[in-house]
């Protein structure tokens, strides 16, 4: 944006406002990280800052069978949902990127409308279906629900990814005797790997963080995901806050790292989806 | 399938595209469209408890039960407050941050660092955010309460347990959590504006305020309105934060439609009534969307 002359005070005010807002965003995390090193001998109500620091909380979390089991469950569900999303999303994204066909605009619009459908209503319907199919309290409806939630954005994003590749490369492969499907798999998938990986990571993060379906479809404690294990821990009497906080940090850091790796790709995809929609 | 994929004649172009798109669309039809219809069916035909379908027509008894419930007006107002205030603040704060970080030639490292600080909440689960704010706002272990006590404040600071403050606290937590997303959307909308417009304005002697009012705002107006609809509709149906922070309490004072649906379905097992509330929520969302889209069309 072009602005010719900006008064000095405007710039100073901007620095102050942005710094203040950034502080509001960073302080809660700093408090969490600080509190995760708090020894259990020094209860939270005694003061904001711990007097001594310890990594015992992290050791306790890693040795805690409930938390670790939940991490594994979250990993299985988020990983399967991300794989399933790509299995449906790659062909669809490719189809929308390469072909203009009757109903394609309607279908792309439908994908956006699906996102505004209340999740809570979907939870009721899928719950009833899961009970009838005898899949309640298994991870399968959870994987399916996460795929359903994230597939619309994944298709939009993958369409952008495939639309950016050159047709010529693919056409020359087809001259050599590949059909559409083969050229997609052999030529396009390898060169779009960064876009595919970021879509995978995006779905993985959102499925890892999902709460509503995780709490609706699972009742057995051993099958819970990390989000529901933490949420039910905070509701209990006599919570070990430091243990809970270190579990929360352990569940969050991998997602932040993933996010920082893919943010460039995802931001582009989100921007396309919202502006064109 | 092979024969469709091999031939690239114009006549076969349409079937090829459909083969690629079909699996995803069937998945949606089976798991989004069918269940939506099923919920509508439940809301009319399910009996009092469980998912059993009553043998005869129920005369919309579930809907009548919803409209007769004592809490309906209160919960609707609370949902309106929650979604309305959150939408307003998401967009206002998101616009402010995007504007400041996009327009002004601030230090580049400062811009990058703060932008990352605003974006990170996106990767953090609402569960962790809800737990974090429950602890931050806790009357005994929370740092705010401890600080207030040290400065000599005699009262008890615990907004989540306070009927007058619980809804406000959850609403502000929602603002904290989702403003970064809207910041990002508005930022990319601003960056998509053609720089030539600003160059021309500078030549014509427009100052910064005039450029914002006459170029930036009109250019992103449609994006803002679209985001506002999307935001209001999804926030009204949003469940996670409220449920983990207050479960709609104390005494229903932070209950919104989504937590009410959840409570009715999964704690009282009145699936018919829960579906009826959900259908009302869905209908309100659609009506709201149509009204705003109409207003946009008129201009």
Q: Considering all CA atoms of chain A, what is the largest pairwise distance in Å, rounded to the nearest integer?
A: 75
Which is more confidently placed, A265 or B262?
B262
pLDDT at B257: 93
Share of chain A above pLDDT 70, in %: 94
Chain B residues with CB under 8 Å of A28 CB are: 132-133, 136
- Is A122 part of any domain? yes
Instruction: Please report the residues numbered 201 through 230 in chain A whose beta carbons come closer than 8 angstroms to any beta carbon of chain B.
Output: 205, 208-212, 215-216, 227-228, 230
Question: By C-alpha distance, which of A69, A206, A223, A68 is closest to A140?
Answer: A223
Please give the average per-residue pLDDT across B74-81, as a whole number: 94
CATH 3.90.1150.10 fits B72-254, yes or no: no
pLDDT at B227 exceeding the cut of 80: yes
Of the pLDDT bands very low, low, confident and very high (cuts 50, 70, 90), residue B241 is: very high
Of the pLDDT bands very low, low, confident and very high (cuts 50, 70, 90), residue A196 is: very high
Return d(Cα A233, Cα A68) in angstroms, integer. 14
pLDDT at A5: 65
Question: By C-alpha distance, which of B276, B270, B90, B252 is closest to B185?
Answer: B90
Return d(Cα A87, Cα A83) in angstroms, integer. 6
Range picked from A141-145, A259-263, B13-17, B141-145 for highest mean pLDDT: A141-145
Please give the average per-residue pLDDT across B71-94, as a whole number: 95
**Per-residue pLDDT tens digits for A124-180:** 989 988 988 999 999 999 999 999 999 998 998 899 889 888 888 888 888 888 888
Please give the average per-residue pLDDT across B221-244, as a whole number: 90
pLDDT at B2: 42
pLDDT at B55 exceeding the cut of 80: no
- Is A58 part of any domain? no
- Number of domains making up chain A: 1
Share of chain A above pLDDT 90, in %: 48
Instruction: Please report the residues numbered 80 through 99 in chain B whose beta carbons come closer than 8 angstroms to any beta carbon of chain A.
Output: 93, 96-97
B135, B215, B241: best to mutate for the A interface, most A CBs within 10 A: B135
Instruction: Please report the residues numbered 109 through 168 in chain A whose beta carbons come closer than 8 angstroms to any beta carbon of chain B.
Output: 110, 114-129, 131, 144, 147-148, 151, 155
**Per-residue pLDDT tens digits for A181-190:** 888 888 888 8
Q: What is the mean pLDDT of chain A?
A: 87
Of the pLDDT bands very low, low, confident and very high (cuts 50, 70, 90), residue B108 is: confident
Q: Which of A33-37, A192-196, A237-241, B98-102 has the lowest mean pLDDT?
A: A237-241
Look at A256 and B123 and tell me if their CB atoms are within 8 Å: yes
Residues A57, A74 contacting (CB under 8 angstroms):
no
Q: Which of A57-61, A113-117, B230-234 has the lowest mean pLDDT?
A: A113-117
Return d(Cα B199, Cα A94) in angstroms, integer. 39
CB atoms within 10 A of CB A78: 24
Of the pLDDT bands very low, low, confident and very high (cuts 50, 70, 90), residue B133 is: very high
Please give the average per-residue pLDDT across A12-18, as a whole number: 91
Instruction: Please report the residues numbered 193 through 252 in chain B whose beta carbons come closer than 8 angstroms to any beta carbon of chain A.
Output: 193, 195, 198-199, 201-202, 207-208, 211, 216, 223, 226-227, 230, 233-234, 237, 239-240, 243-244
Question: By C-alpha distance, which of A224, A230, A225 is closest to B244?
Answer: A230
pTM (predicted TM-score): 0.89
Chain B residues with CB under 8 Å of A94 CB are: 20
Chain A residues with CB under 8 Å of B93 CB are: 21
pLDDT at A76: 97
- Is A108 part of any domain? yes
**Nearest CB neighbour to B223, from listed A19, A129, A275:** A275
Nearest CA distance, A44 vs chain B (angstrom): 5
Q: How far apart are the first and last CA of chain B?
A: 48
Share of chain B above pLDDT 70, in %: 90
Phi, psi of A39, deg, nearest 5: -70, 150
pLDDT at A3: 55
Of the pLDDT bands very low, low, confident and very high (cuts 50, 70, 90), residue A112 is: confident
pLDDT at B3: 43
Compare all CA atoms of chain A with the CA of B257 and give the residue at the minimum distance: A120
pLDDT at B12 exceeding the cut of 60: no
- Is A181 part of any domain? yes
Of the pLDDT bands very low, low, confident and very high (cuts 50, 70, 90), residue A212 is: very high
pLDDT at A277: 31
**Nearest CB neighbour to A18, from listed B20, B101, B233:** B101
Please give the average per-residue pLDDT across A229-234, as a whole number: 92
Please give the average per-residue pLDDT across B200-211, as a whole number: 83
User: Helix B166-191 vs helix B108-119: angle between axes, to the nearest 10 degrees?
Assistant: 130
- Is A119 part of any domain? yes
Which CATH number fits the domain that encloses residue A88? 1.10.3720.10
Residues A144, A157 contacting (CB under 8 angstroms):
no
pLDDT at B201: 85
Return d(Cα A204, Cα B13) in angstroms, integer. 34
Of the pLDDT bands very low, low, confident and very high (cuts 50, 70, 90), residue B54 is: low
CA distances from B7 to A166, A185, B3 (A): 20, 18, 7
pLDDT at B8 exceeding the cut of 60: no
B41 and A CB contact within 8 Å:
no
- Is A219 part of any domain? yes
pLDDT at A206: 93
Please give the average per-residue pLDDT across B248-275, as a whole number: 91
Look at B202 and A4 and tell me if their CB atoms are within 8 Å: yes
Paired tokens of A110: 């439908």
Of the pLDDT bands very low, low, confident and very high (cuts 50, 70, 90), residue A276 is: very low
pLDDT at B230: 85
Paired tokens of A139: 């991870």
A53 and B CB contact within 8 Å:
no
Q: Where are the domains of chain B?
A: 72-254
Residues A192, A265 contacting (CB under 8 angstroms):
no
A92 and B CB contact within 8 Å:
yes
Range of the domain at A256: 64-276
């Amino acid at each position: 944006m072009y602005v010719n002359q900006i008064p000095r005070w405007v710039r100073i005010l901007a620095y102050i406002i942005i710094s203040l807002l950034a502080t509001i965003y960073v302080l809660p995390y700093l408090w969490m990280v600080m509190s995760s090193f708090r020894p259990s001998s020094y209860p939270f109500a005694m003061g904001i800052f711990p007097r001594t620091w310890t990594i015992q909380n992290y050791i306790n979390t890693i040795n805690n069978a409930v938390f670790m089991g939940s991490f594994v469950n979250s990993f299985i569900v988020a990983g399967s949902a991300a794989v399933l999303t790509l299995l449906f999303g790659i062909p669809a994204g490719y189809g929308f990127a390469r072909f203009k066909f009757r109903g394609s605009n309607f279908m792309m619009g439908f994908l956006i409308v699906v996102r505004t459908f209340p999740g809570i209503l979907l939870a009721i319907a899928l719950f009833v279906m899961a009970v009838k199919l005898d899949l309640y309290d298994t991870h399968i409806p959870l994987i399916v629900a996460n795929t359903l939630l994230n597939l619309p954005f994944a298709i939009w994003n993958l369409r952008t990814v495939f639309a950016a590749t050159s047709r010529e490369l693919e056409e020359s492969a087809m001259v050599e005797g590949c059909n559409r499907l083969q050229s997609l798999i052999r030529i396009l998938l390898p060169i779009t790997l960064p876009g595919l990986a970021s879509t995978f990571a995006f779905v993985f993060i959102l499925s890892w963080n999902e709460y509503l379906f995780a709490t609706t479809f699972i009742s057995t404690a051993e099958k819970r995901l990390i989000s529901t294990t933490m949420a039910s821990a905070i509701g209990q009497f006599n919570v070990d806050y430091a243990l809970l906080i270190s579990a929360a940090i352990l569940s969050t850091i991998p997602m932040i790292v993933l996010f920082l790796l893919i943010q460039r790709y995802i931001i582009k995809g989100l921007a396309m989806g919202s502006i064109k929609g | 399938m092979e024969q469709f994929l091999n031939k690239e004649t114009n006549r076969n172009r349409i079937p090829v595209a459909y083969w690629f798109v079909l699996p995803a669309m069937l998945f949606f039809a089976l798991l989004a469209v069918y269940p939506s219809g099923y919920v509508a069916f439940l809301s009319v035909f399910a009996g009092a408890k469980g998912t059993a379908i009553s043998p005869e027509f129920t005369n919309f008894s579930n809907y009548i039960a919803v409209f007769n419930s004592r809490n309906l007006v209160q919960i609707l107002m609370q949902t309106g407050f929650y979604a309305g205030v959150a939408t307003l603040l998401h967009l206002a704060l998101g616009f402010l941050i995007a504007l400041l970080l996009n327009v002004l030639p601030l230090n580049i490292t400062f811009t990058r660092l703060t932008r990352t600080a605003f974006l990170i909440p996106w990767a953090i689960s609402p569960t962790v955010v809800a737990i974090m704010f429950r602890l931050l706002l806790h009357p005994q272990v929370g740092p705010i309460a401890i600080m207030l006590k040290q400065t000599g404040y005699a009262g008890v600071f615990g907004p989540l347990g306070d009927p007058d403050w619980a809804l406000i606290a959850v609403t502000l937590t929602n603002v904290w959590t989702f403003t970064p997303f809207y910041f990002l959307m508005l930022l990319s909308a601003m960056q998509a504006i053609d720089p030539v417009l600003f160059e021309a304005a500078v030549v014509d002697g427009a100052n910064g305020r005039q450029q914002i009012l006459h170029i930036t705002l009109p250019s992103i107006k449609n994006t803002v309105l679209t985001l506002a609809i999307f935001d209001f509709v999804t926030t009204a149906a949003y469940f996670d934060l409220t449920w983990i922070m207050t479960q709609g309490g104390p005494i229903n004072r932070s209950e919104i439609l989504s937590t009410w649906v959840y409570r009715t379905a999964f704690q009282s097992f009145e699936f018919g009534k829960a579906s009826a509330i959900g259908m009302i929520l869905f209908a309100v969302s659609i009506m709201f969307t149509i009204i705003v889209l109409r207003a946009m069309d008129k201009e």
